[in-house]
């Protein structure tokens, strides 16, 4: 967890959907009452609201895309941790 919200932060991920959502689409969703371009309710609104609040809490934060399953060490570690957690959830550990 980053405690100092005054330093520049770069969030790197392999999800084109999340990158476009937070960088491009979210303001339109807000203007249209959380409706997408098809006038349907945006899925996972709670998660988008949480991400937006986190974004607002940082002085300088950017979201950038990296290629998944490539040579990005941080992304590979995050993928490994996510897979481990899903395995534990499936096994009933969490």
Write the pLDDT tens digit of every residue in 65-75. 987 767 778 77
Tens of pLDDT, residue by residue over 4-50, are 999 999 998 888 999 999 999 999 999 999 999 999 999 999 999 99
How distant, in Å, are the alpha carbons of 22, 63, 69, 71, 91 from that of 51?
A: 8, 11, 24, 26, 28
Largest CA distance in the chain: 42
Structural domains of the chain ordered from first start: 9-91 (3.30.420.10)
* Strand segments (E) across the chain: 9-13, 61-65
């Amino acid at each position: 967890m980053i405690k100092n919200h005054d330093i520049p932060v770069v969030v790197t991920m392999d999800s084109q959907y999340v990158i476009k959502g937070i960088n491009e689409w979210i303001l339109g969703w807000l203007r249209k009452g959380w409706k997408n371009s098809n006038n349907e309710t945006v899925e996972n609104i709670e998660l988008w609201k949480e991400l937006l609040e986190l974004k607002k809490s940082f002085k300088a934060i950017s979201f950038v895309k990296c290629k998944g399953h490539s040579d990005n060490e941080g992304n590979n570690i995050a993928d490994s941790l996510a897979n481990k957690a899903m395995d534990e959830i499936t096994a009933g550990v969490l």
